[in-house]
Amino acid sequence: MNGNRVLRLAAGACACLTVCLGLAMDVAAQLTPEVSVEAAVLNKYLWRGGVMTDGWVVQPSVTVGLGGFELGAWGNLDLDDVNDHRHDLSEIDYTAAYTLGLALVDVSAGALHYAFPQDDCEATTELFVSGSVGVLLSPSLGLYRDIDESEGTYVLLGAGHALPLGASALDLAVSLGWGDEKHNAYNYGAATAGPADAGVMLSMDIAVTPLLTVRPTLGYTSLLTTELRDAAEEPDNFLFGVVLAGGF
């Protein structure tokens, strides 16, 4: 009887140890930081349908993620003198966010800080919340609120689909933006609320090595309302280039 009891205790202890080890491994996996780096070479810098740099640019970025938390930095480097900032970082953006993954929905919230080291333009900060649904076309919705310079609001609707193409896939993404009066006055020079911009983007990831991916990119953006289009020198733009991406 005592022997059976000892065996049961030993079996229970082994089961508890197995569960504890499994939980520890899950926690360790979640607490292992993931680092991703990218460098985009593009024919121009577009932001929410507006032209920031009408010439070739390099846009490096680095992101560190840990258990749902994410910190990132992104920059824009002009390659010509169109803005009198050749080979200078004209903009540096910092991101802090947290993403909660649910059954079919991912919800993110955080802050974006925009800095312009080469211009007299003051730095500004946006708070945002966004969500995406893991169903056909992957619909997404983002809400951005500037708490500093413009105090404006921007809403972004998106959708996308991956089309299998050999060993890779052709990724199609579409977007539609809306801005309130303050946002559009600050970013486009037209103090009117309404639809702001629409865009379509095609890209394809090509794995060069397990740690390096090349992503050819082609896109088109357009400002939507008459007021925004009249305020812009180039309301319609094609975007093309290549992104080098890696992670570990």
CA distances from 20 to 9, 13, 24, 79, 154 (A): 16, 10, 6, 54, 46
pLDDT at 14: 43
- Whole-prediction pTM: 0.87
Q: What is the CA radius of gyration of the chain?
A: 23
Residue 45 CB-density burial (10 A; 0-12 exposed, 13-18 middle, 19+ buried): buried
Determine contact, residues 59/99, Cβ cutoff 8 Å.
no
- DSSP notation for 32-88: S-EEEEEEEEESSEEETTEEEESS-EEEEEEEEEETTEEEEEEEEEESSSTTS-TTS
pLDDT (tens, 9 = 90+) of the chain, 248 residues, equals 455 544 444 444 444 434 434 444 444 455 789 999 999 999 999 999 999 999 999 999 999 999 999 999 999 999 988 888 888 899 999 999 999 999 899 999 999 999 999 877 899 999 999 999 999 999 999 999 999 999 999 999 999 999 998 888 999 999 999 999 999 999 999 999 999 999 999 999 999 999 999 999 999 999 999 999 999 999 999 999 999 999 88
pLDDT at 2: 52
SS3 102: coil
Domain boundaries, the chain: 1-32, 33-247
The CATH label, of 2.40.160.40, 3.30.70.120, 2.130.10.10, 2.60.120.10, for the domain at 33-247 is 2.40.160.40
pLDDT at 229: 98
pLDDT at 142: 98
pLDDT at 163: 93
Measure the CA–CA gap between 112 and 247, rounded to whole angstroms: 22
Backbone angles phi, psi at 82, to 5 degrees: -60, -35
